[in-house]
Every structure is written in structure tokens, then in C-alpha cells.
A and B are shown apart, each in its own frame.
Chain A
Amino acid sequence: MGLDDIFTASVFASAIRLATPYIFAALGETFAQRSGVLNLGVDGIMLMGAFTGFYAVFSAQQAGAMSEPVSLVFGVLVALIIGALMGLAMAFVSVTLKAKQGISGIGVYLFGLGLSELLFQQWVGTPKSVSGFPRLNFPVLTDLPVLGEILFHHNLLVYVAFALVPISAYVLNNTTFGLMIRAVGQNPEAADAMGVNVTRVRYATTTIGGMLAGLAGASLSIALINLFQQNLTAGQGFIAVALVYFGGWRPWAVAAGALLFSFVNALQLQIKVIGADIPSEFAVMAPYVITIIALVFAAKRQEQPTALTRPYERGE
């Protein structure tokens, strides 16, 4: 057994696929955190997005009411809307009611965990699969040796996730909205004095974060795994939050972190498949351990939103 057996094209391809939910969720969380809202409820929102997206597709396909592509778009829309609603709830609690963000985030998580499981038990019962987003084939490109498999044979949501990276970076760095987000996260008093509506900006970013978390969940349940079961995400939302710190609040670096994490994860799976004699527990732990180590050594950055977790009060 050599390195060739471990670093195969399929490992790289699966790293890219596995990175998809992390990229969605972590980019969304980047927006929220950049504006000063730490949403620890990402995982709960992902679960709700995963379940509702799945359930929408499942029932549409069962009833035969829609063609398959339409049912998938419908599922994505439902996940986005549910994600947005949960993001709004988080914003209401932490921005309007000014609750402690750490605690309210955990609340959102537990709510999503519990409700998605309850609804799943009530409406579906046992894990059932749907036909999810199919893998795309591009003329010529998909047939390229090695690269074809790694880059050009994924489902649509994978490409959407990666396309969102430059878009997010552009929005944050080159638009008036992005400037407001950065200002609100660093010095809300100053932003307020300059006529920026702090509340509105934070609602917007937390809602965007919720939508992307919902989409992250759906990318699991209707594009990558194509089924739902209880606690489908298994803590991926929390890893996404860690990745935001890891990437120093910059979309490109956050995405790079997601890729790195997923790559270690894919390797770990591969090692198990080829049966290397490393205890599998260690292999499973590896990505998390590496993430923690990287977080400890991640330098404190200028981009760090200094007002993170701090509710803004004008004091009147």
C-alpha cells in the first residue's frame, strides 16, 4: 500500500464535495460575524434546512406533482426560506432583545435539532432517500483525465458554493453594504453616528447567514447524501463556526479552511476504505484535532470584528 492508494483523484473529488456544506454555512456565518453577531445556532439551522428541503423534495417526488428538477429547486427554496426565518429569529433574540449571543445560539441549535427530529419522526418515520441533484457532465472537461473527476463531475450546489466565495469577498470588500457590515462589526457606535442603521445591517447579515446555513443543510440532504435522518449534520455547523475564526473572517481563507478540513476528512475515509492499520478512532478525530490546533495558532487579525457578540445600545 503506497501513497498512490491514498492520494487518489477520488479523494480530492470527495474533499471538494464534502467542503460544500461547510462553505455555505461558514460564508453565511462570516457575514453574521463580520457585523458582530456570533450565531452558534448554525448547526440547528442546517438541520432544519436539511429536513425541510428534503421533505419538500420527498413529498413533491412522491406525489409526482413536479418534475424532478423543479422539485429540487422547490426544495432549495424551502430550505432558504426556513433558514432565513431561523436567522431572523436569531437576529430578533440577539439584536432586538440583546440576549447573550452564545446562549441564544445554543438555543437556536437545540431548537433546530429537536424540531427537525420531531418532524422527521412525525412525517417520514424511517430514513428514505430522494433523487437529489445529479452530477453534471461537461462536454470535454468531464472526460479529462484526473482533473475531470476532481473538478468537473459534481452536482450543481457544489459549484454554487464555490461561486459564492468570490461573490462574498466582493460584497464584503467592494460594496457599500459590505463597508457597513465591517463598520458595524468593528465599531457600531461609529457606524450609528455616521447614519448607518446598525440593527438593520445585523438583521440582514444574520438572515443571510441563516439562509446559507439552510442551504448548507439542503446540500447534504438533497445533493450529497440524498436522505434525511436525525442529527444528519452531526455538528458540521459548529465546525463551520470554527472555520470562520480559522479563516480570519475572510471568505477566501474561510473556504480554504473548509477545503483543508474536508480534505483531511476525505483522507481519513480513504484510509479506512483501504484498511490501513491506524485505529479508525484516530482517523476520525484527525480533522477535529487539526482544526483545534490551527485555531490555537491562528494569528489575531485586523479583520477580527471587535464588537463580536456585543449587542449595540445607543443608550437612550
Chain B
Amino acid sequence: MAEAAKIASSLLPTGHQRINQLEMVGIVKRFPGVLAADKIDFNVKAGEIHALLGENGAGKSTLMKMLYGLYHPDEGQIRINGVKTIIRSPQDAIQRGIGMIHQHFMLVPSLTVAENIALGMKSSRGLRLDLDVVSRRVLELSEIYNLKVDPGLPIWQLAVGEQQRVEILRALYKGAALLILDEPTAVLTPQEVDGLFRILKQLADDGHGLVFISHKLHEVLEISHRVTVLRDGRRVNSIPTSEATRPKLAEMMVGRPVLLEYEKNPPDPREQRLALEGVSALSNRGTVGLDGVSLSLRGGEIVGVAGVSGNGQQELAQCISGLRQVTAGSVEVDGIDVTNAHPSKLHAIGLSYIPEERMIDGVIKEFSVAENYVLQDHAHPKFTTARIFMLFHKIREACRQAIDAFEIKTPSTETLVKSLSGGNIQKLVLARELSRDPGVLIAAQPTRGVDIGATEYIHQRLLQERDKGTAILLISEDLDEIRALSDRIAVMYEGQIVGEVENKDVDIEQLGLLMTGGG
């Protein structure tokens, strides 16, 4: 069948009706203390990939959850093919042909693919499950769309990319004509991203409408036909992607021009500060977490550790910072053996750690900014009398200086940390860790969930530290970040370092291959 004829027909390959045009008009949504959507207009057409771009907290997910019936707009209307529609619940949205793939996958790990798809649907056998019928239809659909999955496998046995395919299949199964994907690439390897993009293009060619939510500029430029930028709950602009450029989009997102590439001084590596020799450790589940990792780090360099989430990066950071038992091998800082040393000893010899789970391991949410600032140094002579009685005026004073120096946006030093944004909390953690002038800095996912503005700042700060001579281990799942900052890159796969390369000699494809063990 000719392409043109396929687009013109009002049916999708799944046999469901198309949604030719979906509009959101003047949408307002308030949460306590936050205006998450402020008179937003948005529309998407059949056959189109419409990117929704914005910083964390800009209101992208909120806007789309209103289309999917999870939230309800306070004002404004939604029109499907020109008809005003009220979407009361996800069930309602599904019936009208709207499907959503959430940022955190909405799958039940212990259930099979078929069970996950059958969930919430009518069975052809009344009260009895009809998993065989579901499985057959799933196989049909996976044929049409080239989405290979085994309907009988439980979700927990699938790789992340496969789980995402299940999500997409499920939406198609339920008749989605319009598909919303909320940051679908966040958890994927570069190869998986390519695969996803092929699927998305095919879906659009077949007449589906797609909303692609992202905060990554290059992805938006690569995949979308149109792009709408949100900032602080407001729509900044909607433009055809052909008229967009990276700097232009970044400026729309942040509200001011942003540095996307950093000026880096040539590396000036000095003496060795951190050395790992054959370090092994167990994971939380008791399986092998780290498997004989050797790594060395010199002052004045940033070594990036790349890898797909869950390949030992977390265990690596914890082993170095004394938070996980090393079962074999040794860790040395400045020539001193610190294998399984207590974190307080590590602090004392100048190791700082920016933990991955900043809300759990990095700060105490219910404490104030000042209290969090002195978490480690609360007994330091400069903040106490006789190491017992805390001198709060001194603590506040030091904290105020840090707030200025690190441009932390907080009403006061006494504000509770839980009311700050992710970016500002991370700046606070960074300020605390750098205040001790560390010789070695372990930074685990330092900008995950942090807005572009703060990310830019944190990156600049890390580069400054490097130039001052600090040895920095940067553990990140964000390849762009690794590429932008590292001098050397170590790639982790299944608890091992499977490759170590100079940043300037490597391209993203090679890294992607190493990350999936194919190096």
C-alpha cells in the first residue's frame, strides 16, 4: 500500500481509529504552592512527533498527566478531533485512544508480560483470565511493529529496553492512537535509544500522534517534527524543529543564554591520589557487585565512569567511600591503605563523596540548610566549644558564605532542606563537600535531576576543582556529562571495568558498545 494512502485512511494498523488532532487550550493546574501549568496551549496531530521540552519541574509531566486523566485541569479544555472532552481517569483516556508511557515504568515486576497487558482490561472469558488470547494478540502486534517480546516472561527478567517495549506494546494493544512518552530515553543505552527512535518514527509514519517529553536537546532535535518549550509552568514557544538549534532551545528552556560546551584547560595530571587494586564487593542482593576493579586517579584529572545503571557504579562509589564492605582487593588514598576504613577516617584524610541518592545519603531532609551544611563538621573546633557545644552563629555565618559562593537559592540558612529544589540541594551538598578542600572527590550522578542552570554551575565548579589539583572520580549515567568533563573514561559492565579510554580518542558509538559488554 502506498504511504500516502496509509496516512489518509482513518484507521491505524492496529485497527483502531486515529486521532487527527488533539488540542489543549488554556490549561491551568495548581498544586499547593505551585502553579504547575499556567494557561498552556498545546496540540498534536496524527503522524507527528511533538517534543515537549523543559527543565525538571517545568510542568511537562503534569501537563501530560492531565491528558491521561491522572490529574484534572483547574481551567481550560481538551479537544479531541475538535470535540470538547473531559478525561476523568486513565481508563477514560485509554478508551479515547490516549496511551502514556511514564517516566517510571508502570509495570508489575512479578507479573508476566501478558498479565501486565491484561491488567485492567476486560477478559473475553468474563471473570476468568484469557492470557492465551492476550498472548496471541501481543505476538500479532509485535509482528506489525517489530517489537519483539515473549509474553510469558515475568517483567523482572527483562532488560530495561525490553520493559519499555512492553509498555509501548501495551499502549498499542489498548488502542492508543496518541502516545505520550515521558522521558523515555532516560534509562536507555545509546543503542537502545536508536532502537526506540526507529519505533517512534514508524509509529508516526503509521498515523499515530506522539508526544515526546525530554530535557535533552539533541534528542529533541533528532526525533521531533515540532517542539514546545515549557518553563516554570508556562509555555515559552512552539516551533517547527527545522527552525530550532541547540543554543536557541537551551535559552528558551533556561531563560538566559547557556554554555553548552565548556572551555577546558589542557589536563595537568599530578601525583597519584587514589588507587584501587582488584576491588570486589557484593551487591545489595548478595550477587557479585564489583568484580576485581583496578583504577587509579591522579590529582588534576577527572576520570569518568560510564555505564548502564546497575553495573556496579554504585558499589564502586560505596567501596571507595567506606560505605560498603570490600571483599577482596585494596583501596589506597595518598598511599595510605583505606580498605574498609570507616568513613570518618576517609574524611580526615581528605576524601569527599557526593552520593548518588542525595535525598537519602546526602542530606537530612527535615534539617535546615545550616544543619546540613555542618553534618560532617559539626564537632569541628571552629564550630564548637570544647567539641561539644555548637556555636550556631559561626555555623550560620559559614553557611551564609557557602550560600553566596555557590549561588544556592534558599530563603535563609534556617529553611528546611526538603523545600529546596533538587538543583539547590545538590549545590549545598557540593558546597559542603568542597568546603573541606578534598584531595579526592567522588561524585556520583552529581547532576541527575538537576536543572540545566545548576548543572552548568556544578560542572564549572568540578572543572575548577580539577584545575586546582583535586582528583575527581565522576560516576554518571549521562554520557553527555561524562564526555563534557572527563579526561579519561572507564566503562563499567557487570561489575568490571571493560575499557578505559582517553576521552578525546573515543566516540559515543564505541562507548555505547562497551557499555553493553560488546566492546
Binding site for B on A (CB under 8 A): 174-180, 182-183, 186-187, 189-196, 302-303, 306, 314, 316
Besides the known contacts A193-B90, A195-B91, A316-B71, 14 further A-B residue pairs in the complex with CB atoms under 8 A apart: A174-B128, A176-B118, A179-B129, A182-B110, A186-B108, A186-B110, A189-B104, A191-B108, A193-B70, A193-B102, A194-B106, A196-B120, A302-B154, A316-B70
A176 / chain B contacts, CB cutoff of 8 Å = 118, 122-123, 127-129
Q: Report the separation of the CA atoms of residues A303 and B128 in the bound assembly, to the nearest whole angstrom.
A: 20
Instruction: Tell me, in angstroms, the Cα distance from A178 to B127 when the chains sit together.
Output: 10
Consensus secondary structure, chain A interface: helix
Q: Is B109 an interface residue (CB 8 A)?
A: yes
A179 to B117, CA, bound (A): 11
Find B120's partner among A182, A187, A191, A306 (CB 8 Å cutoff). Answer: A191
Contact of B128 among A175, A182, A183 (CB under 8 A): A175
**Contact-residue bracket for chain B:** 20 to 34
Within 8 A of A (CB), among B71-130: 71-72, 89-91, 94, 100, 102, 104-111, 115-116, 118-120, 122-123, 127-129
Are B115 and A179 touching (Cβ within 8 A)? yes
- Chain A, Cβ-Cβ closest to B122: A176
Q: Which residues of B contact A187 (CB under 8 A)?
A: 106-109
A-B contact pairs, 13 of them (CB 8 A): A175-B128, A176-B128, A182-B111, A186-B109, A186-B110, A187-B107, A193-B70, A194-B106, A194-B120, A195-B90, A195-B120, A196-B120, A316-B72
Closest to A195 in B: B91
B110 touches A302 (CB 8 A): yes
Quote the shortest CB–CB distance from A167 to chain B (angstroms). 13
Q: Are B107 and A190 in contact (CB under 8 A)?
A: yes
Minimum distance in angstroms from A36 CB to a CB of chain B: 12
When the two chains form their complex, are residues A175 and B127 in contact, meaning their CB atoms are under 8 A apart? yes
Of chain B, the residue at the smallest CB distance from A192 is: B90
In the complex formed, the residue of A with least CB distance to B29 is: A316
Q: Which residue of A lies closest to B118 (CB)?
A: A179
Chain A: minimal CB distance from B99 (Å): 10
Chain A hits for B94, CB < 8 A: 195
Query: Which residues of chain A have C-beta atoms less than 8 A from B72's C-beta?
Result: 316
Taking a contact as CB atoms under 8 Å apart, the answer to whether B70 and A314 are in contact is yes
Would you call B110 and A175 a contact (CB within 8 A)? no
Q: How far is the CA of A54 from the CA of B100 in the complex (A)?
A: 53
Q: For the complex of A and B, list the 10 residue pairs with the smallest distance between their C-beta atoms, beginning with the closest.
A: A195-B91, A194-B120, A190-B106, A195-B120, A193-B106, A186-B108, A187-B108, A196-B120, A183-B108, A194-B119
CB distance from B162 to the nearest CB of A (A): 16
Q: In whole Å, how far is A145's beta carbon from the nearest beta carbon of chain B?
A: 41
**A186 contact set on B, CB distance < 8 A:** 108-111
The smallest beta-carbon distance between A196 and chain B, in angstroms, is 5
Q: Give Cα distance in the complex from A299 to B281, angstroms.
A: 23
Cα A187 to Cα B107 with chains together (Å) = 7
Q: Which of A177, A179, A196, A314 contacts B111 (CB 8 A)?
A: A179
A306 cross-chain contacts in B, Cβ below 8 A: 109
Nearest residue in B to A190 (C-beta to C-beta)? B106
Determine whether the beta carbon of A196 is less than 8 Å from that of B119. yes
Q: Is the CB of A190 within 8 A of B127?
A: no
Residue of A nearest to B126 (CB): A176
CB distance from A180 to the nearest CB of B (A): 7
Cα A4 to Cα B100 in complex, Å, equals 66
A189 touches B106 (CB 8 A): yes
Residues from chain A with a CB closer than 8 A to the CB of B118 are 176, 179
Q: CB-CB < 8 A to A178: which residues of B?
A: 129
Per the bound structure, the CA–CA distance linking A51 and B111 in Å amounts to 40
Say how far A235's CB is from chain B's closest CB, in angstroms. Answer: 31
Q: Can you name the residue of chain A whose Cβ is closest to the Cβ of B91?
A: A195
Proximity string of chain B (135-173) to chain A, C-beta cutoff 8 Å, 1 when within and 0 when not: 000000000000000000010100000000000000000
A189 to B108, CA, bound (A): 9
Q: Hey, which chain B residues are within 8 Å of A316, CB to CB?
A: 70-72
For the complex formed, measure the closest distance between the CB of A98 and the CB atoms of chain B, giving whole angstroms: 17
> How far apart are the CA atoms of A191 and B119 in the complex, in Å?
7
Task: Tell me, rounded to whole Å, the shortest Cβ–Cβ distance linking B338 to chain A.
Answer: 33
Find out whether the CB atom of B110 lies under 8 angstroms from the CB atom of A303. yes
For residue B496, give the distance in angstroms from its CB to the closest CB of chain A. 27
Q: Which residues of chain A have C-beta atoms less than 8 A from B111's C-beta?
A: 179, 182-183, 186
B119 contacts A183, C-beta separation under 8 Å: yes
- Provide the bound-state CA to CA distance between A199 and B72, in Å: 19
C-alpha gap A193/B71 in the complex (Å): 11
Q: Which of B42-80 contact A (CB under 8 A)?
A: 68, 70-72
Would you give the shortest CB distance from A181 to chain B, in whole angstroms? 11
CA distance A183 to B108 in the complex (A): 6
CA distance A178 to B128 in the complex (A): 9
Nearest B-chain residue to A184, judged by Cβ: B108
* Cα–Cα distance between A186 and B116 once the two chains are bound (Å): 12
Q: Report the minimum CB–CB distance from B25 to chain A (whole Å).
A: 21
B90 and A175: CB pair below 8 A? no
- Chain B residue at minimal CB-CB distance from A189: B106
Q: Is the CB of A190 within 8 A of B100?
A: no
Contacts of B123 in A (CB 8 A): 176
- The CA of A182 and the CA of B110, in the complex, are separated in Å by 9
Flag if B107 contacts A180 (CB, 8 Å).
no
Contacts of B106 in A (CB 8 A): 187, 189-190, 193-194
Decide if B120 touches A174 in the complex (CB within 8 Å): no
**In the bound complex, what is the Cα–Cα distance between A193 and B106 (angstroms)?**
7
